[in-house]
């Protein structure tokens, strides 16, 4: 849902900014690299110290680079395999930094081994969810499923909760519990999404194998018929 509607909205909003960067000679790849560096810095500098509000502010500013670089590429007519590869690869780096920063907090001053483990699970499951789709498509399957919690949902849920949880340091009582709840939601949602994709790939691969076998059997039958006809002559 977020990929379909929110992405389209922010793409329209950020189009003038993308055009401005193009006029200044900035390349889409540069925006991708700087955006990822900003997310990684925000996550690994602020989150391990429990500075969730300011860390989320920094991360959110740079997360939008994921929309800006694609917008720039479309305006330039330069959409390429390399750009898509770089963007997807660095998305995984950014996601790892966000959940890694949260895991470092809970492993240190946050002093909660369970939530540290949940953060690590969110990190790992997010990578695997992305891999299942990429791997399925690489073997020729459409992987036609919209998972319950995809990357956009993982980021929105986690960053919004982390940002609000950071308001605890400004005197807002009880709001720090929002982040643990969000992490559990992301963990469970990612697990459901992983199962959805694995089941879909299994079904699609079985259908593709059955279709290929049917085509092979049909071709073999035609060959036998042709040989029979030749023998009759």
Ligand-binding site membership of 132 (annotated): no
Helix (H, G, I), strand (E, B) or coil at 27: coil
Q: Does residue 91 carry a catalytic annotation?
A: yes
Q: Does residue 87 surpass a pLDDT of 60?
A: yes
Ligand-binding site membership of 26 (annotated): no
Ligand-binding site membership of 112 (annotated): no
Residue matched to tokens 């929309």: 67
pLDDT at residue 192, rounded to an integer: 96
pLDDT at residue 137, rounded to an integer: 92
Distance separating alpha carbons of residues 39 and 59, to the nearest angstrom = 5
The residues, any chain, with a CB within 8 Å of residue 117's CB and separated by 6 or more, are: none
Ligand-binding site membership of 29 (annotated): yes
Distance separating alpha carbons of residues 227 and 221, to the nearest angstrom = 10
pLDDT at residue 224, rounded to an integer: 60
What is the pLDDT confidence band of residue 3, given thresholds at 50, 70 and 90?
low
**Residue 152 tokens, joined:** 């956009």
For 116-163, what is each residue's pLDDT tens digit?
999 999 999 999 999 999 999 999 999 998 889 988 899 999 999 999
For 192-216, what is each residue's pLDDT tens digit?
999 999 999 999 999 999 988 888 8
pLDDT at residue 225, rounded to an integer: 56
Distance separating alpha carbons of residues 54 and 59, to the nearest angstrom = 9
pLDDT at residue 216, rounded to an integer: 81
Ligand-binding site membership of 95 (annotated): no
Ligand-binding site membership of 111 (annotated): no
For 44-78, what is each residue's pLDDT tens digit?
999 999 999 999 999 999 988 888 988 898 888 87
Q: Which residue among the candidates 91, 95, 111, 112 is catalytic per the annotation?
A: 91
**CATH architecture of the region 1-214:** Up-down Bundle (1.20)
For 17-37, what is each residue's pLDDT tens digit?
999 999 999 999 999 999 999
pLDDT at residue 9, rounded to an integer: 77
Segments making up each domain of the chain, as ranges: 1-214
Ligand-binding site membership of 32 (annotated): yes
pLDDT at residue 227, rounded to an integer: 58
Which residue, among 128, 105, 133, 108, has the nearest Cα to 191 in the 3D structure?
A: 128
């Amino acid at each position: 849902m977020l990929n379909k509607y929110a992405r389209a909205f922010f793409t329209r909003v950020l189009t003038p900014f993308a055009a401005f960067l193009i006029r200044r000679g900035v390349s889409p790849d540069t925006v991708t690299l700087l955006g990822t560096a900003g997310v990684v810095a925000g996550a690994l500098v602020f989150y391990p110290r429990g500075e969730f509000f300011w860390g989320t502010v920094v991360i959110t500013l740079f997360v939008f680079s994921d929309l800006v670089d694609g917008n720039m590429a479309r305006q330039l007519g330069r959409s390429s395999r390399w750009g898509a590869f770089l963007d997807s690869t660095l998305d995984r780096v950014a996601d790892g930094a966000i959940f890694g920063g949260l895991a470092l907090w809970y492993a240190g001053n946050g002093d909660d081994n369970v939530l540290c483990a949940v953060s690590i699970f969110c990190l790992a499951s997010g990578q695997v969810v992305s891999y299942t789709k990429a791997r399925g498509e690489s073997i020729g399957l459409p992987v036609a499923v919209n998972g319950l919690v995809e990357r956009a949902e993982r980021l929105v849920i986690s960053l919004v909760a982390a940002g609000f949880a950071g308001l605890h340091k400004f005197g807002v009582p009880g709001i720090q519990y929002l982040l643990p709840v969000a992490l559990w939601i992301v963990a469970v949602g990612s697990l459901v999404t992983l199962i959805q994709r694995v089941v879909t790939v299994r079904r699609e691969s079985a259908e593709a194998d059955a279709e290929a076998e049917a085509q092979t059997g049909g071709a073999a039958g035609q060959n036998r018929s042709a040989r029979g006809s030749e023998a009759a002559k």
